[in-house]
């Protein structure tokens, strides 16, 4: 059974939550060396897990929602997930840090736009959205950027 577009809201919010946490955890780190060494690699490891979560959630989206993510290279994102999961010891921290710095902001911007459009077009349930806004689970999602 293929996923339905109306069920994608929670996947999109989950991606934004993971991306928000990565931004928070890596805030103030200016180099890949600082990133990998921060808190005895705890920040690095947490960010890798969150990046994997982002990739997994993107893969769960319906074809309809994926077709709206034309600004994103979904194939490259899936490739990153595979590298993190299957080749962890050989990851290049410079590439990971660069992806966090350069690729996360446009990813978040795109998802905020997709959610806003989905709410305006009644694709996503507004009650589900309202409940999500009040949830502790989505505390790193900037709901002020979503027009409903």
Q: How confident is the model at residue 140 (pLDDT cuts 50, 70, 90)?
A: very high
Write down the pLDDT at residue 32: 96
pLDDT tens-place string over residues 69-105: 998 888 888 888 888 999 878 899 999 999 999 999 9
C-alpha 66/C-alpha 52 separation (Å) is 17
Per the CB < 8 A criterion, the answer to whether 44 and 35 are in contact is yes
Which residue from 65, 29, 64, 60 is spatially nearest to 47, judged by alpha carbons? 29
* Arithmetic mean of pLDDT, 37-49: 96
């Amino acid at each position: 059974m293929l996923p339905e577009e109306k069920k994608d809201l929670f996947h999109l919010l989950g991606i934004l939550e993971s991306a928000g946490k990565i931004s928070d955890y890596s805030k103030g780190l200016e180099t890949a060396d600082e990133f990998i060494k921060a808190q005895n690699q705890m920040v690095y490891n947490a960010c890798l897990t969150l990046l994997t979560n982002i990739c997994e959630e993107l893969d769960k989206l319906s074809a309809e929602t994926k077709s709206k993510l034309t600004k994103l290279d979904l194939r490259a994102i899936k490739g990153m997930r595979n590298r993190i999961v299957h080749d962890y010891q050989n990851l290049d921290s410079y590439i990971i840090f660069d992806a966090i710095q350069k690729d996360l902001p446009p990813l978040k911007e795109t998802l905020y736009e997709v959610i806003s459009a989905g709410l305006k077009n009644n694709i996503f349930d507004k009650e589900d959205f309202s409940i999500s806004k009040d949830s502790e689970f989505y505390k790193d999602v900037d709901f002020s950027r979503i027009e409903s």
